[in-house]
Amino acid sequence: MNEILKKMKNFFSNEMALRGLLAGAAGEFEKLWHDIYADIKLMQEDKNPVADIKDASYVLNKMYHWIAFEKTTKDHLLFFKDYALVLFNWNLSGYKDSDIEAQCQSVTDLIDGNLTMREVTDIMREVGGRLNDMRSWNPPAFEISKSFLDYIDK
């Protein structure tokens, strides 16, 4: 978890990445991130969290929209997955809100499905290229087999 927190902190300190990925909603994402980061420290001291659960729901809905309807890179998806994991753990540690838990799981499942489809697409492109290469390749054994099959057909 500490590794994810470091990645998130680095991301939010990189203004170009922030503007490119989050566009108009960067403020909400960053505000919630800072609130959650503060909450993690409060919860370690057995104090109550202060971040607003409605902000978490808004951010998760925004992520869902971007994943489902916008063009996103693999890096974007991995960022969203990390963010959803932090939200999930934050929610379990403090609020235990079933809606946030379900939203985090839905976003994570959608990301996993998206990443799987991208991987399948890449593999299919590679296989398609290899099949095109094989189409023009015609070794002598294939010619013998064709003649043999034609003979059997008669």
Q: How far is CA 42 from CA 4, 39, 51, 54, in A?
A: 18, 5, 11, 19
Long-range contacts from 10-14, C-beta under 8 angstroms, 24+ separation = 11/79
Q: What string of pLDDT tens digits covers the 154 residues of the chain?
A: 678 777 777 777 776 665 666 666 777 888 888 888 888 888 888 888 788 889 999 999 999 998 998 888 888 899 899 999 999 999 988 888 999 999 999 999 999 999 999 999 999 999 988 887 776 766 665 666 666 767 777 6
Q: Where are the domains of the chain?
A: 2-153
d(CA 55, CA 87): 11
Write down the residue that tokens 């991301």 correspond to. Answer: 11
